Amino acid sequence: GDVVHTLLEARHLEVGARVAAGLFKLGEDVPHGDGAEARAAAYPGTMKLQRQDVLALDFPDAHFDQVFTSCTFCSVPRPVDGLRQLLRVLKPGGELHMFEHTGSKVFVFKQVMDWMTPLSRNFGPEMNRDTVANVRAAGFAVDRVRNVYLDVVKVIHAHKPGRDGTRSTQGGTGA
């Protein structure tokens, strides 16, 4: 009862183009004519597509309960600044859920990614970012990190600390 009701009332932000579903989707690269508008119209809940720069989000402080990203922060020019914007728009105790590729600590992969990054950054992604360290540097408390493919593709779960530095459930999704 109460848990389902709370989840339905929660505000979610999905950052990046071509993410499956949610209340808000944003990204400078949300493409026109790729069917995103039709998928949003067909979504049974409420979904609003917006083109925004993650470095300057046009949402009030403490507005969202959860933020989701998927293969997004490899292409943000100043990732810590973008993550700080996500922190700003999250309520205290609000959750950040990321599915991202990151740099590798495995010698062979690290070398290849380090060599590829100067080329790849010309068309978007940086192959060797330490996204977990960036999440911490932005002010999030990292709850857990799960490697999905080697140590390159990760699921990162973090939260915005409460006003007293703890995980607040007041106005957020709680633990």
CA angle 76, 128, 71 (to 5 degrees): 45
Encoded tokens for 1: 């009862």
Beta pairing partners, 15: 26, 69
Nearest to 99 by CA among 11, 6, 19: 19
How many angstroms separate the Cα of 146 from the Cα of each of 65, 89, 140, 154? 22, 25, 17, 6
From first to last of its 175 residues, what are the pLDDT tens digits of the chain? 343 434 456 788 888 744 333 334 444 444 455 566 777 777 777 777 777 888 889 999 999 999 999 888 888 889 999 999 999 999 999 999 999 988 888 888 788 887 877 777 776 677 788 999 999 999 999 999 999 998 889 999 999 998 665 665 444 333 3
Please report the pLDDT score of residue 165 as a whole number: 58
**Any idea what DSSP says for residue 51?**
-
User: What pLDDT sits at residue 113?
Assistant: 81
The pLDDT assigned to 164 comes to 62
- DSSP annotation string for 60-97: -TT-EEEEEEES-TTS-SSHHHHHHHHHHHEEEEEEEE
C-alpha to C-alpha distance for 161 and 136, rounded to whole angstroms: 11
What pLDDT does 8 receive? Answer: 53
Token pair in block for residue 139: 């002010």
Distance CA 147, CA 80 (A): 21
pLDDT of residue 82: 93
**Rounded Cα gap, residues 152 and 140, in angstroms:** 21
pLDDT at 87: 98
Contact predicate 71/102, CB 8 Å: no
